[in-house]
Amino acid sequence: MALGKKGENRFGAIGDSLFESRFDPKQKGQFAAKLAEADAKDQPKTYPIPVRFFTQLDPKAQNALHKVTQTCFSVAEKAGISLKHLSPEVEFYGPYEWEHKTGESAFSMELPAAKLDRSGKTPLIQLILPDQIKNSEAVIKAVRLLASKLFGHLYFEENVAGRPPFSLMQEELSELSFDFREKLLYVRFLDPPSPALQQSFDKEALAQGIRGPKAREMGKREWFKALLESPETRPNQAHLIEDLFAQSLKELKANPDPYLEALVSKIDQHLPKGGLILPHEKKHFEFFKKAKQWNLFHALEDRLQLVVGFWGEVTECFVWLDQVAAQEETFDPELARAWRKTLKERSAQLRKRGLVKLFLMEGAQLNERQQGDKNRFPLWVWKQGLLDHLPAGSDPAKWIKRYQDQYGHSLYAKLFELSFRLVEAIEGMEAQGPGRPLKEASRLKALRTSVSLLSEGLEDLLNTTRIAFSLASVAKPKKHHKKEILKNYAEGWAYFVSFALIHQFYWTQPQGDEKALQFLNLIGDYTQAKVEQEPSYQIAGLLLEVYKKKGFTLTPVVELLTKDSKMLDFFAIHQTELLAKKNEQPGEIIQNFGGLVEKWQADRFKNAINRAQPDGFEVRG
């Protein structure tokens, strides 16, 4: 955020006069007096980051700045807002010192003002203060500006800017670029009705000596396999793939909605029946399909990346165990510990995201709490609305049993059990030596085979969804591109978090409830007045709405930015389309979307499975 000049529509431009009109003079005097008091019993405190003063401050003003800053830093730390990699420094200037340093007149700004300098290796936050700090509002504004830069922009830079979907988003005017392997796999998935392609499959079958009714299908497999391994030896065939991919992009540009529908339908057909989309998630999947939202592909890609990555590590672990068992490799205790840690972390991801229900997994030995969860599963099914639209004459009990089987035998359940049993096998080797045969070898083999049969299709789906999400910029070019989206997102977060920290500060003061309410009303009114025009205030307004619905608890909103980020990212990327409804005002849309976000986050918390492992699995096979 640039230095605020007079008249700018920025939160930083809220001047003392606006605060003067909203706070009772007696309360302001009491507040200033309280800030100036030094608690003799407290140990001297220091700023947790390097701070340099290039201006002489009145001792009372400096104490007030110190006190408000320390309170906000403490609130931020408790809410989980901290920088892990960036190490900023802070400098305080008076107007004359600033002009002497930069040649820029500070008197043309509304002070206090702030600047974030990223020209060096170390982020530098520069605060320009008035020549004299005469009231408490100037103190509050200075600390809020510091929080905006530190816990707003820098925290956003460290936690949001580099993650998907933003890392995958195309820059403005940049051309899409895919390597040959990506194009080949995408064309293979689309399987376009190309006579030239069909002829190539037939020729490959003849060359391989393949005959019979499935000759073309087998020729297709061999043709793609050979081209994937060495495209340079088949230039004409590689050129055919390039042409077919270019033709697909041309169709997309000409008719984006039919293209999207056909692509989603094809992906839907290829989703594993073992359950990549769980029963309670299907309503969200259907919503994205009906709304023609390309963000669907990012959601699928995220899930597929989790599964494919997990399976890749399980496969590597199997290879290692096989080599140790065959005495082709010496048993390494350090490597064994590393594998146990990796597999447990992967399993924890599945549990944390609510993708496995341990109490429904076949053969799991349950403790008392998990048995209670299993007994309450029919109630959970009913609460999720999974019985609301059953075919006429259906028996709910049979559907509950069907849902139980779908969760208990899902792809995630198989990966979880595989991981659990592999950890047991490694622990057995550690205890009794590598010569010991694998425990439950037949069950491990069955699980391994079951997931292995799906692995190639899952990798194809991952590649397809990754490309499809990138194609959204071709289908629906946005008025706002990556740089602008991130700028608005960062400013919206910075506005919100700086005000939330000050709001929390007011709560710690005498008559805190009343002061906090006054401050909240002020910010709410100001934000509401700006949401019509400015995207950054729309982000801030949404965060403020969720903050209210969470009972003014800051931690869930922080997690919405960093952990449970999908809904907020979706809003930031698609806010132009979301707020374009003619029959609703932007403020109403933001309020409604805030309710959806709060409910979605609450549902995720309810659906998340506790971290307790099962006591074990029954011996099978």
Binned at pLDDT 50, 70 and 90, residue 94 comes out as confident
Q: Looking at residues 19-30, what average pLDDT do you find?
A: 47
Q: Looking at residues 100-123, what average pLDDT do you find?
A: 85
Rounded distance between C-alpha atoms, residue 427 and residue 422, angstroms = 9
Q: What does the domain layout of the chain look like in residue ranges?
A: 11-162+481-605, 174-254, 300-457
Residue 125: strand pairing partners:
90, 116
**HEC secondary structure over 1-21:** CCCCECCCCCHHHCCHHHHHC
Asked if residue 562 has pLDDT above 90, the reply is: no
Rounded distance between C-alpha atoms, residue 88 and residue 124, angstroms = 6
SS3 content of the chain, % helix, strand, coil (to 5): 65, 5, 30
Per-residue pLDDT tens digits for 213-253: 888 889 888 999 999 888 888 889 999 999 999 999 889 88
543 and 496 Cβ atoms separated by less than 8 Å = yes
Give me the percent of the chain exceeding a pLDDT of 90.
9
Give me the percent of the chain exceeding a pLDDT of 70.
81
Binned at pLDDT 50, 70 and 90, residue 175 comes out as low
416 and 360 Cβ atoms separated by less than 8 Å = no
Rounded distance between C-alpha atoms, residue 159 and residue 430, angstroms = 39
Question: Looking at residue 12, what is its pLDDT?
Answer: 37
Strand ranges inside 86-142, DSSP E: 89-93, 113-117, 124-128
Question: Looking at residue 580, what is its pLDDT?
Answer: 65
Q: Flag the least confident range among 221-225, 450-454, 460-464.
A: 450-454
Question: Looking at residue 436, what is its pLDDT?
Answer: 61
587 and 542 Cβ atoms separated by less than 8 Å = no
Asked if residue 615 has pLDDT above 70, the reply is: no
